[in-house]
Amino acid sequence: MIGVISYLVFFATTASILAIAVLGLNLQWGNTGLFNGGVVAFFGAGAYATLILGGTPQAGHLGGFELFYPLALLGGMAAAGLLAWIVGLLTLRLRHDYLAIATFGVAVAFENLMRNAEWLAGGAKGVRGFERPLREALGDGFLYNLLFFAVVLVILIATYLFLERLVASPFGRLLRAIREDEEAAQSLGKNPTKIRLTAFVTGSVILGLAGGLYGTFYAFVSPQDVLPTLTFQIWAMLIVGGAGNNRGAIFGAFLIWGAWTASGWALSRFAPVEAQLYTGSVQFILIGSVIVGMLMWRPQGLLPEKLVVSQRGKTPLVKQGV
Amino acid sequence: MPDAILQAKGVTAGYVPDLPILKDVSITARAGQVTLIIGPNGAGKSTLIKAIAGLVQMSAGQIAFDGGDITGIRPDQLAQHGISYVPQTDNIFRSLTIRQNLDLALRGARGDAAATLARLFDQFPALAAKHRDKAGTLSGGQRQFLAIAMALASAPKLILMDEPSAGLSPKAAQEVLEHARALTEQGVSILLVEQNVNQALRLADHCYILAEGRNQVDGSAADLLGDSIVGEIYLGGRRVGAA
């Protein structure tokens, strides 16, 4: 029994971390219409920077700063934000598919940098020497994982509430306006480039937060964690859950991560031994089919975007009697 | 004759370098008047209004507005200078409510936002009645009224309107054009691009006819209304000053 609960905690922690990442992507794509095809670069920047800043000295790569954990995590978020700012300045004038291609290229470059620059992040061996916070006091067992899950859940809820407020604010309406028609927004005196950059950096900071928590959870990160696979998974979560809806983003994260792990388990249990070599590929086909199916039959996702009425909008117009 | 509020001189502009759509086009819009730009498809009417609005890069020419040079202005800076631009289509945000569309336009605009909003709802009672509805649910004519209301939010001196009657029924088109005319009574000048030539000529003060990216004819709208040259240019049978 404890094994099942322990696994559920592990599953829920990973799904919650991914849900934070999906919320970051939802701000970029769902609310602003920015096609970030390089999600994993910003996720990875958060993970790598958190572990490098919070880790113990290592002979093989940069590190040894041993920052207080919250500062290391903030550093991870800042690194993702800085990367997004630089990438955004260079690419945000591009539209849709071109932006997706450019950001995908950034993610591939990031992975290759991490794989080859051993002095920076340990190369293919990854970042070592990171101790999970409070590990000495709590140990490595179930209690630690349960408390870590609680912390991740609080951060997920806080991120959700922050984004809900943001979407309902005038700035949130501006994001949707730019998503719908940049030219019309410009004609109202809005500067789309500046606003798109703000949304891109904010979403990437949230992706960096998720990456930092992911790195903390596993106390390790390597180039294998920043493969395009993760970008694909996070996009699947958003498309299935419902782009533009933060609840949909969270729901999609849990659903797709559940489907991903369940399909892996089912294939390892029931598929012929020789077919199990291809478990990962079969999982991709399954998830890809789900995405295609959703886009064909329910492109708005399981929880579609809802109309947000601001507090000002709710105020009756006394003068008009409406 | 009223003073010129906007003067475009020798405008050469296009979407691709070295392939200009507009070739040395000059127009003047006068204060408190409706200045109309007409011409056959591909004449460069919309390109001209976009060049003035900073949405299309100019390779030559100059734009002066209200005594200042606004050549090469960024589109998001138009409102600061007292110019509003109403694009031809997609000029409202369909997923937002009518109220939210107006709030968006009022954000950062000069003056008391609440008073301006009340004034706009006075001016457009149909929008006030539906202010909580999604803008995407409005009819074509109502959408144009919302777009005009949004353009008025920044208290402009000049509104650039790109075919506001496009896609509307004749009745709705007439209402929208009449409303555009009525705005001049509030001191707002209108630079109007239109395909509904007869309707537009009836309410405009002055008219420029473009063809093949060049000035062809200009004159008082009343004079051009009965002039056969308009039809000739539209049918491609006569060119004035073409290269």
Report if residue A160 sits inside a domain: yes
A258 touches chain B (CB under 8 A): no
Q: Band the pLDDT of B237: cuts 50, 70, 90.
A: low
Confidence (pLDDT) at A309: 52
Q: Band the pLDDT of A72: cuts 50, 70, 90.
A: very high
Neighbours of A269 (CB within 10 A): 8
Report if residue A278 sits inside a domain: no
The DSSP bridge pattern shows strands B68-69 and B83-86 to be unpaired
Minimum mean pLDDT range among A3-12, A55-64, A294-303, B85-94: A55-64
Q: Is the pLDDT of residue A32 over 80?
A: yes
Report if residue A171 sits inside a domain: yes
* A313:B100 CB<8 A: yes
Task: Work out the mean pLDDT of chain B and round it to a whole number.
Answer: 90
* A174:B107 CB<8 A: yes
Q: Is the pLDDT of residue B125 over 90?
A: yes
Confidence (pLDDT) at A316: 40
A93 touches chain B (CB under 8 A): no
Q: Band the pLDDT of B228: cuts 50, 70, 90.
A: confident
Instruction: Sort out which chain A residues have CB atoms less than 8 A from B151's CB and list them.
Output: 187
Q: Is the pLDDT of residue B227 over 90?
A: no
B182 touches chain A (CB under 8 A): no
pTM for this predicted structure: 0.82
Return the higher-pLDDT residue of B170 and A77. Answer: A77
- Stretch A245-254: mean pLDDT, rounded? 97
Question: Cβ neighbours of residue A66 under 8 Å, at least 6 residues apart?
Answer: A54, A55, A56, A57
Residue type at A119? W
Confidence (pLDDT) at A320: 38
Measure the CA–CA gap between A226 and B184, rounded to whole angstroms.
60
- Stretch A152-180: mean pLDDT, rounded? 94
Chain A interface disruption, residue of B56, B94, B96, most A CBs within 10 A: B96
Q: Quick: pLDDT tens for B61-106.
A: 999 999 999 999 999 999 999 999 999 888 899 989 999 999 999 9
Report if residue A19 sits inside a domain: yes
* B76:A181 CB<8 A: no
Q: Is the pLDDT of residue B234 over 80?
A: no
Report if residue A207 sits inside a domain: yes
Report if residue A81 sits inside a domain: yes
Return the higher-pLDDT residue of B3 and A14. Answer: A14
Helix, strand, coil shares of chain A as percentages rounded to 5?
75, 0, 25
How far CA A245 is from CA of A39, A163, B62, B218, in Å, comes to 18, 10, 46, 53
Minimum distance, in Å, between the CA of residue B186 and any CA atom of chain A: 20
Q: Quick: pLDDT tens for B166-221.
A: 888 888 999 999 999 999 999 999 999 998 888 899 999 999 999 999 999 999 99
CB B103 within 8 A of CB A170: yes
Confidence (pLDDT) at B51: 95
Q: Quick: pLDDT tens for A274-304.
A: 777 788 888 888 888 888 998 899 999 999 8
Chain B interface disruption, residue of A188, A193, A305, most B CBs within 10 A: A188
Question: Cβ neighbours of residue B179 under 8 Å, at least 6 residues apart?
Answer: B145, B148
Q: Is the pLDDT of residue A117 over 70?
A: yes
* B150:A320 CB<8 A: no
* Residue-range domains of chain B with CATH: 4-234 (3.40.50.300)
How large a percentage of chain B has pLDDT more than 90? 72
Q: Band the pLDDT of A311: cuts 50, 70, 90.
A: very low
* A173:B103 CB<8 A: yes
Report if residue A212 sits inside a domain: yes
A318 touches chain B (CB under 8 A): no
Confidence (pLDDT) at A4: 86
Chain A interface disruption, residue of B104, B116, B134, most A CBs within 10 A: B104
Return the higher-pLDDT residue of A211 and A282. Answer: A211
Which among A44-48, A276-280, A293-297, A308-312 has the top mean pLDDT?
A44-48
Among partner residues B79, B95, B128, which is closest to A189 by beta-carbon distance? Answer: B79
Minimum distance, in Å, between the CA of residue A182 and any CA atom of chain B: 10
Domains in chain A, number: 1
Q: Band the pLDDT of A310: cuts 50, 70, 90.
A: very low
Domain limits for position A165 = 9-227
Q: Give start and end residues of each alpha helix (H) in chain B.
A: 45-53, 78-81, 98-106, 113-123, 125-129, 140-152, 170-183, 197-203, 221-225, 228-234
Return the higher-pLDDT residue of A309 and A230. Answer: A230
A8 touches chain B (CB under 8 A): no
Report if residue A261 sits inside a domain: no
